[in-house]
Amino acid sequence: MELTKNISHTKIIKSVLVVILGSIALTISAKIKIPFYPVPMTMQTFVVLFLGVSLGYKIGLASIGLYLFEGIMGIPVFSNSPEKGVGLIYFTGPTMGYLIGFLTAGYLASKVNVKDNFLIVLLKLIIATSTIYVLGLLWLGTLIGWDKPIITLGAQPFLLAEIFKVLLLALITKQILKIRNFI
């Protein structure tokens, strides 16, 4: 009984530590801007998908949820914070739909499995990433008005970078899953 309790406590501590590390990775990925065309790229969506693939939906979503909670509470974890504000005001701004989409993307990315061939992995990651943009564009249109060129403003500048990130992750996913299944 005592051994079972210790293993349970160890597993909880390990899970909490991994959730915190996932949130930190997401914060770092939001802050580093890589020169790219037509706009600078962050690796934020890559890390969201990576967390889903590598940690599974429970720990992956907990990491993403912690990251969002930290941002809502005013910790400057989001991509353009503190320059463009912090907390709930920043969260409910133009990027809220995309940020909420991180949760759906992380969940869907966790559905990739080691039996999937490359094209299935790629398709699942494209669908997962697409939910970020669908929710982001829906919120953006609601916020700034549907008379604006929503897709041109909220998706088009980022598509080339998203293709790069999804392809990169699809190429390494099998190795990630092998490591995850080994641990």
H-helix or E-strand spanning residue 178: helix 159-182
Neighbour-count burial of 60, counting CB atoms closer than 10 A to its CB (0-12 exposed, 13-18 middle, 19+ buried): buried
| Predicted local confidence at residue 1, as pLDDT | 56
Report DSSP letters for 64-101, one per residue: HHHHHHHHHTT-S-STTTTTT--HHHHHTSTTHHHHHH
Identify the residue with better confidence: 66 or 4. 66
Burial 118-155 (b: 16+ CB within 10 A, else e): eeebbebbeebbbbbbebbbebbbeeeeeeeebeeebb
Backbone torsion region of residue 130, taken as left when φ is above 0, otherwise alpha when ψ lies between -120 and 50, otherwise beta: alpha
| Predicted local confidence at residue 24, as pLDDT | 98
The CATH topology of domain 2-182 is Arp2/3 complex 21 kDa subunit ARPC3 (1.10.1760)
Predicted confidence band of residue 181 (pLDDT cuts 50, 70, 90): confident
pTM above 0.85, yes or no: yes
Q: Which two tokens stand for residue 86?
A: 């912090």
Cβ atoms 77, 26 nearer than 8 A: yes
H-helix or E-strand spanning residue 46: helix 44-72
Predicted confidence band of residue 147 (pLDDT cuts 50, 70, 90): very high
Helix (H, G, I), strand (E, B) or coil at 36: coil
Q: What angle do CA 23, 25, 26 make, to 5 degrees?
A: 65
Q: Is the pLDDT of residue 3 over 60?
A: no
Predicted confidence band of residue 138 (pLDDT cuts 50, 70, 90): very high
Average pLDDT taken over every residue of the chain: 92
Mean pLDDT to the nearest integer, 39-64: 95
Cβ atoms 67, 26 nearer than 8 A: yes
Read off the pLDDT of residues 88-137 as tens digits, 9 standing for 90 and up: 999 999 999 999 999 999 999 999 999 999 999 999 999 999 999 999 99
Q: Is the pLDDT of residue 40 over 70?
A: yes
